[in-house]
Amino acid sequence: MAVVEELIPIKPKPSEAWNVERIRKDFPVLSQTVNGKPLIYLDNAASSQVPTMVIERGAQYLQHEHSNIHRGVHYLSMKATTAYEGAREKVKRFINAREAKECIFVRGATEGINLVMHGYGRKFIGAGDEIIISAMEHHANIVPWQMLCEEKGAKLRVIPMNDAGELLIDEYEALLNDKTKLVAVGHVSNALGTVNPIKDMIESAHKYGVPVLIDGAQMAPHGLIDVQDLDADFYAFSGHKMFAPTGSGVLYGKARLLESMNPFQGGGDMIKSVTFEKTTYADLPNKMEAGTPAIASQIGLGAAIDYLNIIGREKAAGYERELLRYATERLTAIEGVRIIGTAHEKLSVLSFTIENVHPHDIGTILDQQGIAVRAGHHCAQPVMQHFKIPATARASFAFYNTKQEVDVLAEAIEKVIEVFS
């Protein structure tokens, strides 16, 4: 594969229909058997699989381009820097940021949120201030804010949701006030699949001059993101949930905000000059990227974006919508199955319980059929508390899953019910 860092055009050939069998060939991991059965990978919301194009890009870097970035005047260091900054440029286009320097490379969405907590929260949020999150947040978008509230004496306010798993927007509007200093909310719920109306929510917050952080970990693999159209102040997502290696991820922030913030970590690469008396910090994005980053992984993220652009993000999203509709229909028809999360707007995630069967037993029995689902609280224990359940089983889809796989899942669920009846 040639080393191309130039941008691959976003528009795919429009005429072709979605050829899932051809797409599946791009993902070597999918061709294996598990417990003697063909692997059916339905745990994409936890981590997605990696296409050959991304694997080869990472290997190419490690074989021919590896060196530290932003430092050397030598050939390899320049090569590595070009590739790494090329990936940032791809991210910029992927989310339609104004400038590449607004895209900070982080370890994943969790680190992105923690960056905002340390850099923005600890500087600008104080005693008596309020932070608004929602009832369906992942622990990654709850715990950092609790830590900040504890440290500063600020208050955490929670937007409630209804039993379909939809946020009560009127209640949200009522929570906003002059003490609100930040809104942190998920674009798509990892436990329920709900797509939140974040554009409207951001607009409401801005009426109070409140910045909004979006946890986009579950949106990035499945939909189009336009941070300028959303007017998001911060937007965090993980590479490993969007077909790139672990250790890659992005925190987008408006330049004005990132510039006003404290650095996240201190160290190499984030400074202009250091003396024992005073250090001046580097400009964005380096100010927020201390130390040697996960260079190969972030270059892999750039390649994953190329891959998504080649296959067509809108086309993939359309296929996934139909797959979720079909899976919802199949599972709803099984007596004893309860779908958790029935919001009008949903993406990719199908959480469910089976009457009188614990989700961990479901998970083990499905695994014996070669089907990978997640069983547990999905790092969203408050969501489980809302629905008064200990856990759910969760099937989460990507564009390489098929209706046949959904059929096998439905049949296996019927077998689970049979075993436990």
Partner 1 sequence: MSELSELYQQVILDHNKKPRNFHKLENANRSAEGYNPLCGDQLKVYLHVEDDQVKEVSFEGSGCAISKASASMMTQAVKGKTKTEAETLFSEFHRMATGELDEEAEPNHLGKLTIFSGVRDFPARVKCATLSWHTMHAALNNEVKASTE
Binds partner 1 by CB under 8 A, chosen from 34, 390, 402, 414? 390
Q: Give me the least distance between CB of 389 and partner 1, in Å please.
A: 10
Binds partner 1 by CB under 8 A, chosen from 106, 230, 391, 417? 391
User: In this structure, are residues 319 and 326 in contact, taking their beta carbons and an 8 Å threshold?
Assistant: no
Nearest to 114 by CA among 17, 319, 251: 251
In whole angstroms, what separates CA 127 from the centre of its chain? 31
Considering the complex, state which of residue 243 and residue 352 has its C-beta at the smaller distance from partner 1. Answer: 352
Q: Give me the least distance between CB of 190 and partner 1, in Å please.
A: 17
Considering the complex, state which of residue 347 and residue 365 has its C-beta at the smaller distance from partner 1. Answer: 365
Considering the complex, state which of residue 269 and residue 361 has its C-beta at the smaller distance from partner 1. Answer: 361
Considering the complex, state which of residue 18 and residue 420 has its C-beta at the smaller distance from partner 1. Answer: 420
Does 415 contact partner 1 by CB under 8 A? Answer: yes
* CA 373 – CA 367 distance, rounded (Å): 8
- Total number of residues that touch partner 1 (CB under 8 A): 21
Q: Give me the least distance between CB of 35 and partner 1, in Å please.
A: 7
Catalytic residues: 379
In the stretch 10-49, what mask flags binding to partner 1 with x, by CB under 8 A?
-------------------------xx-------------
Q: Give me the least distance between CB of 13 and partner 1, in Å please.
A: 44
And the tokens for 43? 């745990």
Does 124 contact partner 1 by CB under 8 A? Answer: no
User: In this structure, are residues 354 and 335 in contact, taking their beta carbons and an 8 Å threshold?
Assistant: no
**Nearest 5°: phi and psi at 345?**
-100, 110
Q: Give me the least distance between CB of 337 and partner 1, in Å please.
A: 17
Q: Give me the least distance between CB of 334 and partner 1, in Å please.
A: 17
Q: Give me the least distance between CB of 274 and partner 1, in Å please.
A: 42
Considering the complex, state which of residue 123 and residue 360 has its C-beta at the smaller distance from partner 1. Answer: 360
* CA 244 – CA 47 distance, rounded (Å): 9
Considering the complex, state which of residue 168 and residue 410 has its C-beta at the smaller distance from partner 1. Answer: 410
Q: Give me the least distance between CB of 416 and partner 1, in Å please.
A: 9
Considering the complex, state which of residue 330 and residue 374 has its C-beta at the smaller distance from partner 1. Answer: 374
Q: Do strands 37-38 and 33-34 pair parallel, antiparallel, or not at all (unpaired)?
A: antiparallel
Neighbours of 38 (CB within 10 A): 15
Mapping DSSP onto H, E and C, the string for the chain reads CCCCCCCCCCCCCCCCCCCHHHHHCCCHHHHCEECCEECEECECCCCCCCCHHHHHHHHHHHHHHCCCCCCCCCHHHHHHHHHHHHHHHHHHHHHCCCCHHHEEECCCHHHHHHHHHHHHHHHHCCCCCEEEEECCCCHHHCHHHHHHHHHHCCEEEEECECCCCCECHHHHHHHCCCCEEEEEEECECCCCCEECCHHHHHHHHHHCCCCEEEECCCCCCCCCCCHHHHCCCEEEEECCCCCCCCCCEEEEECHHHHHHCCCCCCCCCCEEEECCCCEEECCCCHHHCCCCCCHHHHHHHHHHHHHHHHHCHHHHHHHHHHHHHHHHHHHHCCCCEEEECCCCCECCEEEEEECCECHHHHHHHHHHCCEECEEECCCCHHHHHHCCCCCEEEEECCCCCCHHHHHHHHHHHHHHHHHHC
Report the site for partner 1 in 351-380 (rule: CB under 8 A): 356-361, 364-365, 368, 375-377
Considering the complex, state which of residue 238 and residue 392 has its C-beta at the smaller distance from partner 1. Answer: 392
Q: Which residues bind partner 1 (CB under 8 A)?
A: 35-36, 356-361, 364-365, 368, 375-377, 381, 384, 390-391, 415, 419-420
